A and B are shown apart, each in its own frame.
Chain A
Amino acid sequence: AQSVTQLGSHVSVSEGALVLLRCNYSSSVPPYLFWYVQYPNQGLQLLLKYTSAATLVKGINGFEAEFKKSETSFHLTKPSAHMSDAAEYFCAVSDRDNQGGKLIFGQGTELSVKP
């Protein structure tokens, strides 16, 4: 069965600092991987996805993530945090048979950005 673990339910960084949100997955087959962001009182918005092309995936708002099969990881990074990045971030996995429809989510990481 697939699963996703996000290390750290809450991450706090200073404005301008590096953002690193960790995600590890478990899957018996090569997965599709996603990062979603949820701003307060809003739905889940796709940041980026990995579907077996380049292992370094660039998304919206300056975020990127690298698929590392050997480490079963898909960590999300941004070189310089902005106040507007404060939100909850969810990593999700789907198997290729399902082709990204049924997503298994991690528990989420709340990102705070200090001035």
Chain B
Amino acid sequence: GEDVEQSLFLSVREGDSSVINCTYTDSSSTYLYWYKQEPGAGLQLLTYIFSNMDMKQDQRLTVLLNKKDKHLSLRIADTQTGDSAIYFCAEGVRDDKIIFGKGTRLHILP
């Protein structure tokens, strides 16, 4: 079945890079997503990547996709305190449905 796995916690020092990893199972996924959820807030679409791409860069965010291994990563350069949040990896499956991972809680150390 469809499943998205990601580690639950990540601690990073302010100014360092954060790398959040994710694996998915549906090889027919056309789009893969990263959403951000700050405490008490809804989900913010951070970025997405089409399945025929290897990399996408958007300012401090870099998404890497290894379709062969079904591995997706999100790199946040120069991590700031405002980046503290839960980051959800998600895959787009049929009929516009999205399957979410459990989320990675990113904690920023001073």
State yes or no: do A and B come from one complex. Answer: no
Chain B residues within 8 Å of A, Cβ to Cβ = none
Chain A residues within 8 Å of B, Cβ to Cβ = none
